[in-house]
Amino acid sequence: IKEREDMQQECDSEMHRACLAEPRFTALKDKMSNIGEVRRLQDSLEEKKFHYPGCTFEN
């Protein structure tokens, strides 16, 4: 019985940790998505600078 209670407690603890980790994972995923968008915009700006060398673009 003690072993079963220990296993249940360990399972509950792991479930709690997983529930706490989920919002952090979602926030990190959103942040990485935003970083990807910034990189795409930077690449687009660099491409425009290359194609239109006489124009100035604000940073």
Q: How confident is the model at residue 57 (pLDDT cuts 50, 70, 90)?
A: low
Residue 22 token pair: 């989920």
pTM to 2 decimal places: 0.58
Q: How far is CA 52 from CA 27, 28, 46, in A?
A: 37, 36, 10
In this predicted structure, what is the pLDDT of residue 52? 76
In this predicted structure, what is the pLDDT of residue 34? 97
What is the residue extent of each domain of the chain? 1-59
Rounded distance between C-alpha atoms, residue 27 and residue 31, angstroms: 6
Q: How confident is the model at residue 23 (pLDDT cuts 50, 70, 90)?
A: very high
Percent pLDDT > 90 in the chain is: 73
Q: pLDDT: is 49 or 40 the higher one?
A: 40
Which residue has tokens 């479930």? Answer: 15
